[in-house]
Structure 1
């Protein structure tokens, strides 16, 4: 379970990194050169992450203020400069089902993808306290921010058909509501925020892959475990995950819906990886566990059951093709990606994992391996 959980989380972390980098590339340039910018963004993120975890902390502090101020700026500019505003009943009550399924309920469920991203609390100090607090604050803040931004955006739409036909709907919305120079300024605000997401996701993925190398859970683990420079950064792992992300994005040239599968894979894999411990808790460890400073008490088991049910339900929903009728190009390949990850992980476990993987290494084992 730990082995497969690690590989599922790693797949989700890499897919999330791809999503952040590709979205930022779309903010910057047209589709013809998006892949080139995507590669450049990943390499720039490698250069930044190589500076060490301390610089990642600086970026996080900067991002907090940048996102807060940037959100306010975007909201005010759109509301003030928009030539007209649709009526409130259109904003709050109208429903447009463009999936082809003729099912408002299914259209709503498919739309949950954008709200399905999870928080990754990695590398925080006093994680038993700061992790849960950060997640709660992050969720509440995201709900408030998302509701406000969504309502403002809907009130500033000028031409719905143009947005639906545009390959870059965010930029199109900004141009409709403001003008070219102002729209470019607003896109810069989004691009900077998005790079912070790229860098943070790269750090999370590299930490996960490095830990798996430490625990002998990846091929040639001695090679990938090595740290470099004064910052002691896993440069080889940073370059490896960049190469994987570049190779994995290439099928997007052949299918416009391939990108949706990457996004679905990211959300499903991270949710599944977080759901694995919940399932283990219910099946194999039902006796009382040592409680930390943050716990759910008697609600622990019921919340676990709800969480597992949601993860399974959400995973099925996000594997459904987003449009109907379904063709090879419009097929949602998320299930294939996730199934492929589990199959390869299981095969690798049979070949070498069951012999070499003994679980997370402890202090003395890590010191011995580092010296070697």
Structure 2
């Protein structure tokens, strides 16, 4: 839950930096302040919250439109970068040249720090869709396939289009926008392409808030969250767990305030995002293995004996990567760039443990296979869509 809600703050931070980059592009005399970035972050979060509260019935259609918007953005960025560039880098630069400015002598460390994608998002909406046992695994596999293919192609196109001044590419803070500016020579073109990416990130943040709210709602419904009666309520007219959405937004907004207070504290919380997610992934896998991979009811996708191998490899992979996510991004490490992920994670785990001892242990009953609230949301959305 914390991983997803913190992820919303991370998303809006990326968007805020992009907006500031555009402001500097069109007004070179503009000097951004931390509170400028914070205001942009909070403004985006408020809009995302309102969309989740009042636009629940529209979200499936918005997500469908976003898929085609994403594909359109992919083709536009890829084609424009290559076609508009005056010069192109040789294949050796794209596929065989590694430029490491992190201070780590071994590029393997840098590579491993990028190995994470939030594949579980669709699973948190499974109670609101028809035939989730088939739809959820299919959506996860499609996410991997489409994401890997489009990401690889657009990265190759952008790398071929890096201009002669490679250092400007690394120092800009917004590499792909710098490439587009160098290729097209047009600020307007960069603004249009940036808007496409901002829309993708905006919709992503809306989905992150939605997923975070559903985790809070389901946890409260099972008696594992504070004030379970309040946060398990579903507004029938809006077909939305409004208190849970507001809580997800509030936590994200509080995390965003950290950026205003201390960028070091904000980055420390961002750095533990992946570790928290891996903990959440590992627990059900471990429980499944302890049960001998036996289920009360078989799902649509049966892995058979291969399931044991896949589950064990997944645990080993996550354990291995967790170590890398505790390393500082840059060397030499200082108090400002140090990675405090292990400290923050330990603190959050302690808080979670205390909440379980004093709250959850007394009220948590476990998930229910049926529920009026689940049926209400599913029927309302299927009716409108």
Q: Same fold (TM over 0.5)?
A: yes
1:61 aligned to 2:67?
no
Tell me the SS of whatever aligns to 2:305: helix
Give 1:118's aligned residue.
119
Task: For 1:100 and 1:107, locate their aligned partners in 2 and report how far apart those are by CA, in whole Å.
Answer: 10
1:16 aligned to 2:7?
yes
Contact 2:16 2:37 in 1 (8 A): yes
**How much does 1:364 deviate?**
6.6
Task: For 1:149 and 1:364, locate their aligned partners in 2 and report how far apart those are by CA, in whole Å.
Answer: 44
User: Structure 1 residues 116 and 233 mapped into 2: Cα distance closer, same or farther (>3 Å)?
Assistant: closer
Runs of 5+ consecutive residues of structure 2 not aligned to the other structure: 22-31, 375-385
Task: For 2:279 and 2:177, locate their aligned partners in 1 and report how far apart those are by CA, in whole Å.
Answer: 33
1:138 aligned to 2:143?
yes
Runs of 5+ consecutive residues of structure 1 not aligned to the other structure: 1-9, 368-372
Match of 1:80 among 78, 83, 93: 83
User: Structure 1 residues 308 and 227 mapped into 2: Cα distance closer, same or farther (>3 Å)?
Assistant: same
- How many residues align structurally? 355
Post-superposition Cα deviations, 1:265-309, rounded to whole Å, max 9, x if no partner, equal: 3323223212211111223x0163342111211101111100111
Give 2:358's aligned residue.
351
Tell me the SS of whatever aligns to 1:118: coil
Equivalences for residues 211-360 of structure 1 within 5 A: 211-228=218-235, 230-253=237-260, 261-283=268-290, 285-286=291-292, 288-289=294-295, 290-360=297-367
**How much does 1:263 deviate?**
4.3
Match of 1:206 among 207, 213, 225: 213
Structure 1 range deviating more: 188-197 or 349-358: 349-358
**How much does 1:333 deviate?**
2.1
Match of 1:93 among 91, 96, 105: 96
Task: For 1:160 and 1:261, locate their aligned partners in 2 and report how far apart those are by CA, in whole Å.
Answer: 30
Tell me the SS of whatever aligns to 1:358: coil
Match of 1:176 among 168, 178, 182: 182
Tell me the SS of whatever aligns to 1:29: helix
Post-superposition Cα deviations, 1:35-54, rounded to whole Å, max 9, x if no partner, equal: 11111111101111112532
User: Structure 1 residues 29 and 229 mapped into 2: Cα distance closer, same or farther (>3 Å)?
Assistant: farther
**How much does 1:242 deviate?**
1.9
User: Structure 1 residues 57 and 19 mapped into 2: Cα distance closer, same or farther (>3 Å)?
Assistant: same
Structure 1 range deviating more: 286-295 or 40-49: 286-295
Structure 1 range deviating more: 173-182 or 56-65: 173-182
Task: For 1:49 and 1:365, locate their aligned partners in 2 and report how far apart those are by CA, in whole Å.
Answer: 20
User: Structure 1 residues 51 and 365 mapped into 2: Cα distance closer, same or farther (>3 Å)?
Assistant: closer
Post-superposition Cα deviations, 1:202-245, rounded to whole Å, max 9, x if no partner, equal: 11000110111212212222222333361132233222222221
Question: What RMSD, in angstroms, separates the aligned Cα atoms of the two structures?
Answer: 2.2
Give 2:381's aligned residue.
none
Structure 1 range deviating more: 21-30 or 291-300: 21-30
Q: TM-score, normalised by structure 2?
A: 0.86
Match of 1:109 among 112, 124, 128: 112
